[in-house]
Chain A
Amino acid sequence: AQSVAQPEDQVNVAEGNPLTVKCTYSVSGNPYLFWYVQYPNRGLQFLLKYITGDNLVKGSYGFEAEFNKSQTSFHLKKPSALVSDSALYFCAGHGSSNTGKLIFGQGTTLQVKP
């Protein structure tokens, strides 16, 4: 069965420091991987995706993610966190043989403190 896991319920970081939100995956075939952000009482906003190509993917709002096939990970990163980055982050994905059936991690709350 396909799965996406986010091992941390919450990540706390000081403003200006780098941040990492972790994600691991288990899918059939080549992975399609995504990061979304959700602000309170809002929908999901797309940040970035990995389908194929460079292992370092750059996305919206200064976020990037590193795809690591050997570790089956797709961690979200940002060099310098902002207080406004505080939100709920979801990793999601599926395999090339299950396109369309997007599986989500349970979400990680990011708290950036001034």
Chain B
Amino acid sequence: NAGVTQTPKFQVLKTGQSMTLQCAQDMNHEYMSWYRQDPGMGLRLIHYSVGAGITDQGEVPNGYNVSRSTTEDFPLRLLSAAPSQTSVYFCASSYDRGSHGYTFGSGTRLTVV
């Protein structure tokens, strides 16, 4: 039982490049979400999904795209990276929309130069 797995752990991008941050969970959780962590701002919700085929925007969705084709995977796509997207990204999942808590991945540290 691996929990929530994020890849890669570190990434450096040039401005304008695209990439996909991967997130997978093996707990059959219906709910998955992406957050970014910036100093002094806590974690902010980017996008979330309440099940396969269903996604919605969070607090800071601009510049990011998501899809949920399976229960297990919830990739986050940066279509054209900008320096403002330099951050640490966390994926989370939960069963029953939080009643049993949220499990977080170990994070992806992204630097856009």
A34 touches B102 (CB 8 A): yes
CB closest chain-B residue, reference A38:
B37
How long is the Cα–Cα vector from A106 to B43 in the complex, in angstroms? 7
B contact residues around A32 at 8 Å (CB): 98-99
Q: Which residues of A contact B (CB under 8 A)?
A: 6, 9, 32, 34, 36, 42-44, 46, 49, 51, 90, 92, 94, 99-107
Count of B residues near A, CB < 8 Å? 25
Contact assessment for A101 and B48 in the assembled complex, using a CB-CB cutoff below 8 Å: yes
Q: Do residues A102 and B102 form an inter-chain contact, with CB atoms below 8 A?
A: yes
* B residues whose Cβ falls under 8 Å from a Cβ of A: 31, 33, 35, 40-45, 48, 50, 58, 90, 92, 94, 97-99, 101-107
Tell me if A51 and B42 are in contact (CB < 8 A). no
Beta-carbon contact of A94 and B98 below 8 Å: yes
Q: Are B105 and A100 in contact (CB under 8 A)?
A: no
Q: Which of B48, B102, B106 has the most CB of A within 10 A?
A: B102
Known pairs A51-B99, A94-B98, A100-B33; A43 contacts B43 (CB<8 A): no
- A51 and B104 CA atoms in complex are apart in Å by 19
Per CB-CB distance, the 8 closest pairs between chain A and chain B, nearest first, are: A99-B97, A104-B42, A43-B106, A44-B104, A104-B43, A106-B42, A100-B97, A100-B31
Interfacial chain A residues near B58, Cβ < 8 Å: 101
